[in-house]
Amino acid sequence: MKIKKGDTVEVVSGDDKGQRGTVHRVIVGRKVIRGHTPKGVRVVGTNPEKDRLVVSGVNMVKKHQRRTGDVKTQAGIIEREAPMRVSNVAFVCPHCQKATRLGYQVLESGERVRICKRCRQTVD
């Protein structure tokens, strides 16, 4: 996945279209086989269709939380960010401040860096 934690992204589809935010968490979709394994589940690889992001201030949902036993949990209606699909956001370049796609470029030192497809500047 080209988008990482801490990147600024812009929502390109859905109810929050046009909003920008910082990526809090990246959830990589795993391809799982359930069967006769010691723990019951075996991870085979990644599934890009299940890749999701949690973006600050975007895709807010209300969760009705009730107190659970002696644990001091916050009770009532809690508003928090819900994960959204990676395909619904676009990376915002820190140089040109526009939503863009990302590419990779291999430097002479062998290091692989991300580049903006619009202005050709390195992002990392």
Give residue-wise pLDDT tens across range 84-121. Answer: 999 999 999 999 999 999 999 999 999 999 999 999 99
Is 6:26 a contact under the CB 8 Å cutoff? no
Output the six-digit token pair for 53: 């992001």
Burial of 121 (0-12, 13-18, 19+ CB in 10 A): exposed
- Confidence band (pLDDT; 50, 70, 90) for 29? confident
Give residue-wise pLDDT tens across range 46-83. Answer: 888 889 999 999 999 999 988 887 777 888 999 999 99
How many Å apart are CA 53 and CA 9, to the nearest integer? 10
C-alpha distances out from residue 96 to 55, 90, 99, 118, 121, Å: 21, 14, 9, 8, 9
- The arithmetic mean of pLDDT across residues 34-40, rounded, is 68
How many Å apart are CA 103 and CA 39, to the nearest integer? 38
Could you tell me the residue ranges of all domains in the chain? Answer: 8-90, 93-124
Q: Which of 49, 6, 47 is nearest to 26 (CA)?
A: 6
Is pLDDT of 17 > 70? yes
pLDDT on residue 36: 65
Output the six-digit token pair for 87: 């395909």
How many Å apart are CA 57 and CA 61, to the nearest integer? 10
For residues 86 and 42, the model is more confident at: 86
Is pLDDT of 38 > 80? no
